[in-house]
Amino acid sequence: MKATIPRLRAGLIPSIAVIVVLALLPIIGVPRVWFLYTFLFFTYLAMANMWNLLAGYSGLVSLCPAAFVGLGGYTLAVVTWVGLPYYVGIIFGSIVAALFAMLISIPVFRLKGIYFAIGTLVVPEILRFVFLLWKPVGGAIHGRGAGYTVKGVAEISQSQIYWFALAIGIASIFLMRYILRSKLGRGLAAIRDSEGTAASCGVNVFKLKLYSFVIAAFVTGMAGTISYIYQGYIEPASAFSVRWLITIMLATVIGGEGTEEGPIIGTIIVVFMYFILARYAEISLIIQGVILVGIMLLAPQGIMGIIRKTRPYGFLLQWASRC
């Protein structure tokens, strides 16, 4: 016990120092372009961590994160249109995404393996079609379908938006560490390895899957609301786009699925790819898809898998695990 406390303190102090430095960036006065880099990094990181929780640790290859992003964003827009402040929209957007996850869990959890993935893949498309036809609140519709500006966000400073993104990104890291070291994490690992064996050992498979699915939806929905606070406008085609799924999968697969460090490393690479591929807007999604398939074929364990096979870097992993 005495040895554990110094180890925790030794790992916690560097983490707190990094968080403080990141929080002070807007005050220090870094170039404006770095706000966009870091904003995308933290929002994508939160989403990638939650997808990693499902696919990497729970054995649930969920292909519907765009549904949670879109629902969170639309809830934010509707809340601001009825006169409530945007921060209420952040909370409500996260709750709506979590409730929707509970609702669809009833049918999709009856599916296994590839059928579960296909079942979740069609969910964002159904929502996109619904929001193309449905007008949630009054007022003029901008563009195709129910597209709305998010009211009141013009008054929010870039620094505040950055701190929102920083908070959700850092919170997702600590949440993952807590879950993986809890009874829930051990149960999910057992389900991933063998669902039948886990059930025969007394693990409530449905309940643990539901917990992880709802937690992932809540955090992804919150990251979605923060993204649309920055954008200030939402419409169905982009809100429920497969681009969200490709980005999140790339970040997780590049870094290493089923590892804590993987989404962090992968998200850094994905953010840089975002700006590099911006000039190829028409085919950027195809390029990302080809990269994703290539990595899954050539390096299925991602960067962290390669590092773990290289013994000289083992001490780095041991140090990182203590932080």
Q: How many domains in the chain? A: 1
- Cite the beta strand spans of the chain per DSSP E: 148-149, 233-234
pLDDT digit string, tens, across residues 261-319: 999 999 999 998 888 887 777 687 788 888 888 887 877 788 887 777 765 544 454 44
Determine the distance from the C-alpha atom of residue 24 to the mean position of all C-alpha atoms in its chain, rounded to a whole number.
24
The CATH number linked to 157 is 1.10.3470
- In DSSP notation, 5-27 reads HHHHHHHHHHHHHHHHHHHHHHH
Place 5 in a pLDDT band, splitting at 50, 70 and 90.
very low
pLDDT digit string, tens, across residues 188-247: 888 887 777 877 888 888 899 999 999 999 999 999 999 999 999 998 989 999 999 999
Distance, CA of 89 to CA of 290 (rounded, Å): 36
- Residues β-bridged to residue 148: 234
Distance, CA of 65 to CA of 73 (rounded, Å): 12
Q: Is 4 exposed, middle or buried (0-12, 13-18, 19+ CB in 10 A)?
A: exposed
* pLDDT at 20 exceeding the cut of 90: no
Question: What is residue 50's predicted lDDT score, i.e. its pLDDT?
Answer: 97
To 5 degrees, how large is the angle CA 235–CA 221–CA 265? 105
Structural domain including 311 reads: 4-322
The first and second tokens of residue 45, run together, are 């990181």
116-124 long-range contacts, CB within 8 A, separation 24+: 116/60, 116/61, 116/62, 117/61, 117/62, 117/63, 118/63, 120/62, 120/63, 120/64, 121/63, 121/64, 123/64, 123/67, 124/64, 124/66, 124/67, 124/70, 124/240, 124/241, 124/242, 124/245
Spatial CA neighbour of 183 closest among 153, 212, 222, 155: 212
Name residues whose C-beta falls within 8 Å of residue 103's C-beta, 6 or more positions apart in sequence: none
Distance, CA of 132 to CA of 145 (rounded, Å): 4
- For the chain, the average pLDDT equals 85
Q: Read off φ and ψ for residue 148, nearest 5 degrees.
A: -135, 150
Spatial CA neighbour of 44 closest among 226, 176, 212: 226
Task: Please check whether residue 56 is in contact with residue 257, taking contact to mean a CB–CB distance below 8 angstroms.
Answer: yes
Distance, CA of 87 to CA of 166 (rounded, Å): 15
Place 136 in a pLDDT band, splitting at 50, 70 and 90.
low
Question: What is residue 63's predicted lDDT score, i.e. its pLDDT?
Answer: 94
Q: Read off φ and ψ for residue 274, nearest 5 degrees.
A: -55, -45
**Side-chain-facing half-sphere of 321: CA atoms under 13 Å:** 11
Question: What is residue 264's predicted lDDT score, i.e. its pLDDT?
Answer: 94
The first and second tokens of residue 156, run together, are 């929010």
pLDDT digit string, tens, across residues 63-110: 999 999 999 999 999 999 888 999 999 999 999 999 999 999 999 998
Place 138 in a pLDDT band, splitting at 50, 70 and 90.
low
Place 36 in a pLDDT band, splitting at 50, 70 and 90.
confident
Distance, CA of 150 to CA of 73 (rounded, Å): 9
